């Protein structure tokens, strides 16, 4: 029987690298191996250095290994075609069109991706490829948990619809019975410890440990056990002579002891390497570290290359401030990027700095794995609360589940006030009970905040890029759905017009560079740069332009005093230049610090270091 291996973890911890390394090792051992990614911002092609895409593709140079990147858009079209095929054969065209429009909502894409993913958990049909091992390289944990919860929730949603209207937001219940059975089988496979393993990748850092603990607990509630850990990014002991790395090695040793105490699971350790993990040769060399007990890879001292390539790009501070400070209108600053690149850190020190310049600032996140409170060093809850220690700063996190409850209650109460029949309200309630409502409700809460006049600046710490784009596309999808509803139904109401105007205002704000700035955070390596560039290009299709880019974890050249640090800095030089070439906007460098960026006593001077200080703000602070 096929063995299933799931890799999960906080964004940026190295899940894809570890999953690809494992896949190559299994294939080299003679096992027919498939690696599949469910991450909307997939990077398998980058790691294997070949085109993969939405089909099972043989990996060149690794006999017995195949890969697939599930494309959410392709998966959605395939899913709709299958669900609607029996309907088209049995019902009039007008009815089919109404059902098809009902399935055009953003939630269909989520379940369609999972539907495609669950195909690999089923026994292969006659004529299909059989694999000895299927490895799933998943999206960052918060969204992975949503994905794994789907079979349970969709099964419940389908069952309720069968007893009511017979309609769900992912299609008619009668047409998706096979899907219901498939989802139930998927859950059973994920719970089967004899054939399924869950491996969490983490780094010796506070947020990574906390996220791993939370995710393991959530999986346990679904009856799914975690079996192994891979602790990645451990600094080599030889770097204790480096003034930058020495305090970080000491910090990591404390977190390694915490992992051993708090997460007593079989654990493998992976050192931080002096270069990227890309290409089959590199993956095999990393496999020797991960599986064979080898402790180091050969290093090369490229001091000459390092000294010859020190990169300097002059960014005019006034260009940066023009994209952060509010003008005649309130400004919303969106921080986006691959998981683990430091979006929360960038959003926090930016919000703290803006507040200290005297601007009334709201900092918020819709990321399911919200870490605002961890970075700020103060509690951040579901209600807007002043940040103690910083005048003019408030913070909140949008809890999707709590937002969904408020959203459902508001819509159903409004329907009753408008005189909808009990039968109509019941149908609406069935559709709102689908799990995709959480995503829509979270953005609805953001729109509430974005529509308020209480703030001069809103700093939005977003989820990792693939999911951020899904969220940003929601208002466009909703506007389309409202148009369809008004056209197709005699029950058009003023409420629809109000909602459409509300969404339209937010769309216009996001497209106006005087009122909003999209900032992409990345560290100077290939994968986060490519992901940010793809997302930036996709935003262009929505008429939203990137305004700033942040290069994070940049090694200060004067502190690169060892061969290891010189090699890493030389690698960064190349990618700093690539960021400059790809993004024709101001670039801000955030240095790697010898300590964690946590707490206002760290965020405040970091903001000043990055943005400077306006004279009037210094006068205000001295007067306080």
Catalytic residue of the set 196, 396, 527, 536: 527
Q: What SS3 class is residue 366? A: coil
Residue from 16, 434, 565, 604 carrying the catalytic annotation: 16
Give the separation between CA 357 and CA 325, rounded to whole angstroms.
Answer: 10
Among 495, 509, 375, 496, residue whose Cα is nearest residue 449: 509
State yes or no: is 356 an active-site residue: no
Which member of 17, 42, 138, 517 is catalytic?
Answer: 17
CA distance 291 to 22: 9
| The dihedral formed by the CA atoms of 297, 300, 305 and 306, expressed in degrees to the nearest 10 | 70
CB 176 within 8 A of CB 54: no
553: left (phi over 0), alpha (psi -120 to 50) or beta: left
Cβ proximity of 338 and 466 under 8 Å = no
Beta strand residue intervals within 146-207, DSSP E = 167-168, 171-172, 196-202
CA dist., res. 330 & res. 450, Å (int): 9
Token pair of 223 as six digits: 């009856």
If you search the block for the tokens 């008619």, which residue do you land on? 172
Answer yes or no: are the C-beta atoms of 332 and 307 closer than 8 Å.
Answer: no
- Distances from the Cα of 420 to the Cαs of 407, 413, 414, 424, in angstroms? 18, 10, 9, 6
- Is there a contact between 338 and 531 (Cβ–Cβ < 8 Å)? yes
Q: CB under 8 Å to 565, separation ≥6 — which residues?
A: 239, 242, 244, 245, 555, 559
User: Is 14 considered catalytic here?
Assistant: yes
Distance CA 4, CA 193 (A): 10
Identified catalytic residue from 22, 37, 39, 565: 39
- Choose the catalytic residue: 2, 10, 11, 12: 12
Q: Which two tokens stand for residue 488?
A: 């197709």
Neighbours of 292 (CB within 10 A): 9
Distance CA 128, CA 152 (A): 27
Phi, psi of 621, rounded to the nearest 5 degrees: -65, -40
CB 539 within 8 A of CB 469: yes
DSSP 233-268: EEPPGGGGGSTTHHHHHHHHHHHHHHHHHH--S-EE
In DSSP notation, 317-355 reads HHHHHHTTS--SS-EEEEEE-STTSSHHHHHHHHHHHHH
531: nearest Cα among 338, 279, 277 = 338
Catalytic hit among 15, 80, 343, 397? 15
What lies within 8 Å, CB to CB, of 92 at 6+ separation is none
Catalytic residue among 9, 11, 14, 287: 14
- Burial of 263 per CB tally in 10 Å (0-12, 13-18, 19+): middle
Reply yes or no on whether 12 is catalytic. yes
Residue 1 CB neighbour total at 10 angstroms: 9
Q: Which residues are known catalytic residues?
A: 12, 14-17, 39, 527
């Amino acid at each position: 029987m096929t063995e299933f291996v799931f890799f999960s973890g906080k964004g940026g911890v190295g899940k894809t690298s570890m999953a690809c390394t494992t896949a190559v090792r299994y294939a080299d051992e003679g096992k027919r191996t498939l690696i599949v990614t469910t991450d909307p911002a997939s990077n398998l092609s980058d790691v294997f250095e070949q085109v993969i895409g939405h089909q099972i593709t043989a990996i060149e140079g690794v006999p017995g290994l195949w890969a697939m990147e599930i494309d959410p858009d392709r998966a959605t079209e395939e899913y709709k075609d299958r669900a609607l095929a029996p309907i088209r054969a049995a019902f009039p065209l007008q009815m089919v069109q109404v059902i098809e429009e009902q399935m055009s909502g953003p939630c269909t894409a989520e379940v369609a991706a999972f539907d495609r993913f669950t195909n690999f958990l089923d026994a292969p049909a006659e004529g299909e490829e059989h694999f000895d091992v299927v490895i799933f390289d998943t999206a960052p944990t918060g969204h992975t948990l949503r994905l794994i919860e789907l079979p349970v929730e969709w099964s419940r949603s389908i069952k309720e619809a069968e007893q009511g209207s017979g309609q769900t937001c992912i299609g008619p219940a009668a047409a998706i019975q096979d899907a219901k059975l498939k989802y139930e089988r998927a859950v059973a496979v994920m719970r089967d410890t004899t054939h399924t393993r869950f491996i969490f990748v983490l780094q010796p850092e506070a947020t990574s440990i906390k996220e791993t603990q939370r995710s393991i607990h959530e999986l346990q509630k679904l009856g799914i056990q975690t079996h192994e850990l891979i602790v990645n990014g451990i600094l080599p002991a030889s770097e204790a002579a480096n003034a930058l790395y020495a305090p970080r090695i000491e910090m990591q040793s404390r977190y390694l002891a915490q992992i051993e105490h708090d997460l007593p699971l079989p654990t493998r350790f992976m050192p931080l390497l002096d270069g990227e993990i890309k290409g089959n040769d590199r993956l095999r060399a990393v496999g020797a570290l991960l599986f064979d007990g080898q402790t180091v890879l050969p290093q090369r001292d490229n001091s000459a290359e390092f000294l010859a390539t020190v990169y300097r790009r002059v960014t005019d501070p006034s260009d940066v401030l023009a994209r952060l400070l509010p003008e005649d209108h309130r400004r919303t600053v969106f921080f986006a990027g691959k998981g683990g690149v430091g979006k929360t850190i960038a959003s926090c020190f930016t919000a703290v700095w803006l507040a200290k310049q005297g601007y009334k600032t709201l900092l918020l996140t819709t990321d399911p794995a919200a870490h605002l409170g961890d970075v700020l060093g103060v509690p951040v809850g579901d209600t807007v609360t002043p940040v103690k220690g910083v005048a003019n700063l408030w913070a909140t996190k949008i809890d999707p589940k709590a937002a969904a409850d408020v959203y459902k209650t508001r819509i159903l109460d409004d329907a009753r006030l408008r005189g909808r029949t009990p039968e109509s309200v019941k149908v609406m309630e069935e559709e709102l009970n689908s799990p995709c409502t959480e995503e829509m409700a979270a953005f609805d809460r953001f729109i509430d905040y974005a529509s308020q006049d209480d703030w001069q600046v809103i700093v939005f710490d977003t989820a990792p890029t693939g999911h951020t784009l899904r969220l940003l596309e929601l208002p466009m999808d909703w506007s389309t759905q409202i148009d369809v509803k008004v056209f197709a139904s005699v029950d058009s109401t003023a409420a629809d017009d109000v909602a459409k105007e509300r969404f339209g205002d937010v769309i216009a704000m996001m497209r106006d560079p005087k009122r909003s700035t999209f900032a992409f955070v990345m560290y100077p390596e290939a994968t986060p740069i490519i992901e940010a560039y793809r997302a930036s290009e996709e935003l262009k299709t929505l008429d939203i332009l990137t305004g700033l880019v942040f290069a994070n974890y940049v090694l200060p050249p004067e502190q690169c005093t060892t061969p290891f640090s010189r090699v890493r800095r030389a690698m960064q030089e190349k990618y700093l230049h690539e960021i400059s070439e790809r993004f024709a906007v101001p670039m801000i460098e955030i240095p790697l610090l010898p300590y964690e960026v946590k707490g206002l006593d760290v965020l405040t001077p970091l903001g000043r270091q990055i943005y400077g200080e306006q004279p009037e703000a210094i006068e205000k602070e001295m007067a306080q």
